[in-house]
Chains A and B, each alone.
Chain A
Amino acid sequence: MTALVLDQLRKSYAVAGQAALHGLSLAVESGSLTALLGPSGSGKTTTMKLIAGLIAPDSGDIRLGDRSIRDLPPERRGVAMVFQNPLLFPHLTVAGNVGFGLRMRGLASDRIAASVAEMLERVRLTDLAQRKPAQLSGGQAQRAALARALILRPEVLLLDEPLSSLDPGLRDEMRQLIRALQRETGITTIVVTHDQTEAVALADRIALLLDGRLAQYDSPQAFYGRPATMAVARFFGGVNFIPGTARAGIFDGALGTLTLPPGLPEGPGVLTIRPEALRFGEGPNPRAAQIVALSFLGSLTRVDLDLMGVPLQALVTPDTARTLGPGTEVQVSLPPEALWLLPPDA
């Protein structure tokens, strides 16, 4: 079932500095966790503010279920938003902050207290209920901000870069908490992030925004194996691009003819292979390669190769790296199932 539909949303700003949207369409599945991914200036935060009702679109529609929420004020949309900074209300305690939304709805104070206690338990802040926001650490404040939104059981929960203000050590913990709470509550959630590894680790589906447009909406795996364009492939760390022509399961380009997997389109295109999918040693689509350089990256090593004058990159484990030396000749294989065809760059 579709929960949230963005239909041809357009937004431009008179003042520079805020990213515009050029006709964004997206249909988010009910109960899913979607990452809205994109570089800074791609329109992620603008999209969130449009959904939350903090700004109005120039044109286009926003629908929740089958009703348009485009013209509703923020408080009547059933959408709650957690901002990049926790933005807790400094004059209220943690419990006061978490109970804020229920208080605005006019609930009885004993019911609010019960809900707040339960919510604080879930985000492990029970002991800090009576603290003021200034006495919290960054992670605690962000958990309180999350609890403050979740307690309202919104139809859609928007999280704007919820991890970016946290120390790296806390990010993983917060990511797991978000994932667990989302599964538990089943609230349709959209997380904004500029970090593709974070999007992959967190989300069921990723919506990649490039220049105010939806570049691809797909599972995390698809962005690695089946990117829609060269720009998408590059954003996810794609580096190997070989122009040529596909015909009858064969790709003809600068590397000679290569066998393609079944089901790829025919005609001119750009062949791509993930750097981690290149194999060293015997295999299908074999080629002789010269090792240009080895760069230690930590858990993986980057290998710069020269294949018949075409520069390619491979990522290998330390075990494989140990067998390789700069300047030596090696045999590599481009497995057909790892090959993917992109449309020619416009």
Chain B
Amino acid sequence: MKYTKQEYQDYANKKSPDSPILKDVVFAFLIGGAICTVGQAIGDIYKNFLGLDEESVKTAVPITMVFLGALLTGLDIYCKIAKYAGAGTLVPITGFANAIVSCAIEFKREGYVLGLAAKMFTIAGPVLVYGINSSIVLGIIYYLMQTL
């Protein structure tokens, strides 16, 4: 055909429908917001009914949310919500649980060591690497600001 590669890519882009950004953003906001509301409610219950102190609530809420994310992943529910929620299920800590548990389930068949354990962090690994690195960089900046 007569197209150059660039011309063809431009033409193919025009032919390909874009993601429905507005719809995706609204769903992400609503479902992501709902997950955060659940987290807040659990925190309030821990504080007001179980009498946990502030520090313990900060530890207990993520633990509970990770558990719920993992449970819903195992029950084949989380990915169905994520189909509509997109970033709404990806960004909260439940998304982190999903990334780890889905890999663990998928690669269990290749064994507990080289399958499940080794592949568990294929998706979550980069989040850890860059998360930890950026916190180190921010820590250094914070330290410098304190000393100056």
The answer on A and B forming one complex is: no
B-binding residues in A (CB < 8 A): none
A-binding residues in B (CB < 8 A): none
